[in-house]
């Protein structure tokens, strides 16, 4: 009779709670605070290794770099929420959700002012590296030298 190996249940959190824990747990572990527009948080050592970095280039434009390896399977749930346009390049690893399952070498382009709720799964002991660009729809309209009224309904900012 074979005995199946023990498999630990994934850590299940809301996306909001997850990011709150990342920021709170980092606390004094924050790598860079000299520039409030360029902040790097160390991934909580009890959860894994790596970092999350946000670079605020201007109002409405943020570049995020994520490079971490969780020790446990994670399941993060989110609900529909306001969200800027997002272009994410997956450089290493894989994540899967009820919306998409990108892997290394692929990208995600999404957003219309709203992000759909989803459940994302991140496997334990797999390094995840990605670069995301978040652009506020109003800023994109300025760059296009127009107004939000000139965009199709799916790209108009929610009000």
What are the tens digits of pLDDT across the range 74-89? 888 888 888 888 899 9
Residue 64 domain-assigned? Answer: yes
Residue 147 domain-assigned? Answer: yes
Residue 2 domain-assigned? Answer: no
Name the domain count of the chain.
1
Residue 129 domain-assigned? Answer: yes
Residue 91: pLDDT over 90: yes
Residue 5 domain-assigned? Answer: no
Residue 3 domain-assigned? Answer: no
pLDDT digits (tens, 9 = 90+) for 34-76: 677 888 888 888 889 999 899 999 999 999 999 999 999 988 8
* Dihedral over Cα of 38, 120, 89, 68: its sign: positive
0.85 surpassed by pTM: no
Query: CATH number of the domain that 148 lies in?
Result: 2.60.120.10
Give the residue among 78, 87, 79 at the shortest CA–CA distance from 135. Answer: 87
Classify 71 as helix, strand or coil. Answer: coil
Mean pLDDT of 110-119: 78
Tokens 């399952």, residue?
A: 101
Q: What is the pLDDT of residue 127?
A: 95
Under the banding of pLDDT at 50, 70 and 90, the label for residue 126 is: very high
* Dihedral over Cα of 144, 148, 158, 116: its sign: negative
Q: What is the pLDDT of residue 117?
A: 80
Maximum average pLDDT range among 11-20, 22-31, 42-51: 42-51
Residue 54 domain-assigned? Answer: yes
Residue 7: pLDDT over 80: no
Residue 4 domain-assigned? Answer: no
Query: What residues make up the domain containing 115?
Result: 11-155
């Amino acid at each position: 009779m074979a005995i199946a190996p023990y498999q630990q249940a994934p850590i299940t959190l809301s996306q909001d709670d997850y990011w709150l824990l990342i920021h709170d747990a980092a606390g004094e572990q924050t790598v860079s605070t000299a520039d409030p527009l360029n902040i790097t948080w160390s991934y909580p050592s009890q959860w894994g290794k790596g970092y999350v970095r946000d670079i605020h280039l201007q109002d409405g434009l943020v570049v995020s770099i994520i490079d971490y390896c969780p020790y446990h399977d994670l399941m993060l749930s989110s609900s529909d929420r306001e969200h800027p346009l997002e272009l994410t390049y997956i450089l290493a690893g894989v994540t899967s959700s009820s919306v998409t399952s990108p892997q290394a070498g692929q990208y995600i382009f999404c957003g219309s002012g709203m992000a759909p709720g989803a459940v994302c799964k991140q496997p334990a002991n797999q390094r995840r590296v990605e670069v995301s660009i978040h652009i506020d729809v109003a800023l994109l309209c300025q760059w296009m030298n127009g107004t939000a009224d000139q965009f199709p309904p799916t790209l108009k900012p929610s009000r």
